[in-house]
Amino acid sequence: MNLDGNHTSIREAIDAGLLAGAVTMVWQDGKILQVNELGYRDVDAKLPMQRDTVFRIASMTKPVTVAAAMSLVEEGKLALTEPVAKWLPELANMRVLLDPQGALDRTEPARRLITIDDLMTHRSGLAYAFSVLGPLSRAYGKMSFRQEQDRWLSELAELPLVHQPGDRLTYSHATDVLGIALSRLEGKPLATVLAERIFEPLGMVDTGFSVSAAGRRRAATMYKLDENYRLQHDVMGPPPITDPPFCTGGAGLWSTVDDYLRFAQMLLASGSLDGVRVLSEESVRLMRTNRLTEEQKGHPFLGMPFWQGRGFGLNLSVVTDPAKSRQLFGPGGLGTFSWPGAYGTWWQADPSADLILIYLIQNLPNLSADAAAIAGNTSLAKLQGAQPKFVRRTYQALDG
C-alpha cells in the first residue's frame, strides 16, 4: 500500500494558485495511516499548513449539534416527535408560502408544528438565502448572525416557511434553530452544551465557537477566488477569541483534523471512543439511517441530484447504493456517512472498510446562481476536482 500519490490533485491546485493549502488525514482500522500538510495556512506570511491548524468547519458543525441533541433524547429531555415550539414559542404559529418564489404576504397556515426531527432532517420548511429563490431568499439575506440568538429567532419566525413542515427537504437554518432549543432546554449557552456533551468526553481540545490567543496563531486564513481566479487574501478576518453572542449550531464551529477525527471515530464505533460512551448505539443508528422517502429523494438538493445512491439520516448523508453513489460522489461502501462544510471542509466514515477520510481547506464559496456553471473552466474544475481525486486515489491505494 502506497498513499504517497493521493494528494497530487491538491498539490496541483496549490501550484496553480487556486488553493492556499490543505490538511488531509487517512485513518483505518484504529491507525492514522497518513497526514498531509500541504501549502500554506497564510500565503502572505508564508505560514505552512500544519496538523494542528484550526479551520472554520461550517456545516460540519451540524452533526455535532445533532449528536448533542441525541444525548438529550437519551435522557428523556427531548423527543424527535416533539414540537420545537415547546421551547421556542416564537415558532408556534408559522405560515407557509403559497408560491415558493412568490410574495411573502401570500401564505397559508402551517398544517402542523415543526418537530425536532424536522429540524434534524431539514424538512421544517425553513431555508437558507441560497437554498430558495425570490423574495424569501432576499429576506433571509438581510438577517444577521451578529446579534443575540433570541432576537435572531424572532426575526426568523416572522418569515414564512417555503413549504409545509415534513413535506420535503430544503437545506436551512434548522440546525441553528435546534441549537437555540438546546440552549434554552439546558439553560446554558450552546457552546457549554456542546462542550459538556461532546467535546470534553471526546477530548476535542481545539473545537469551539472561538479559539484561544494561541489557537488564533494556528488558524487557517480564509481565501476566495476573484474574477481572474486568483486567491483573494483574508476575506473573513481572524477568528474570535471569545464566543460570539449567537453560537450557531449549524455552522459556527472551529476545529482541527485530529479533533474531528475523534468525533467521526465515535460515530463509526456506534457511540463510544476509548472506553467513553458519548451516545447510545440506538442514537447513532438513527443518525446513520436514511429518513427520506423516495419522493423526497427525488427533489434536487441545491440544484444537484444529491440523493443518487444516498439518503439522509439525522444531518448525515448515508450511502444506500454504493454503485449509484460512486458515479457522482466517488467511492464509499454501504452505510458510508458524511456531511461537508461550505468552506471546502469534508469528511466521510466508511464502516465497510473501517475507514475515515478528512479533507480541510478554507475557500469562501461562490453562492451566486451561476456558480455551478464550470464547463470549460479548467481552473475551477481543477480546484473542485482536488478533493474527489484525493478520495478516489486513496481508495485505489488501499484496495491495491
- Convert the pLDDT of each residue in 134-183 to its tens digit: 999 999 999 999 999 999 999 999 999 999 999 999 999 999 999 999 99
| pTM for this prediction | 0.96
Q: What is the pLDDT of residue 376?
A: 52
Residue type, 198: I
**Domains, the chain, with CATH or none:** 4-40+52-60+205-399 (3.40.710.10), 73-186 (no CATH)
pLDDT at 118 over 80: yes
| Band of pLDDT at residue 206, cut at 50, 70 and 90 | very high
Average pLDDT over residues 237-260: 97
pLDDT at 371 over 60: no
Q: Pick from 355, 357, 354: which is nearest to 346 by CA? A: 357
For residues 313 and 231, the answer to whether their CB atoms sit within 8 Å is no
For residues 193 and 183, the answer to whether their CB atoms sit within 8 Å is yes
Average pLDDT over residues 255-283: 98
For residues 138 and 108, the answer to whether their CB atoms sit within 8 Å is no
Surface-to-core class of residue 243, CB atoms within 10 Å of its CB (0-12 exposed, 13-18 middle, 19+ buried): middle
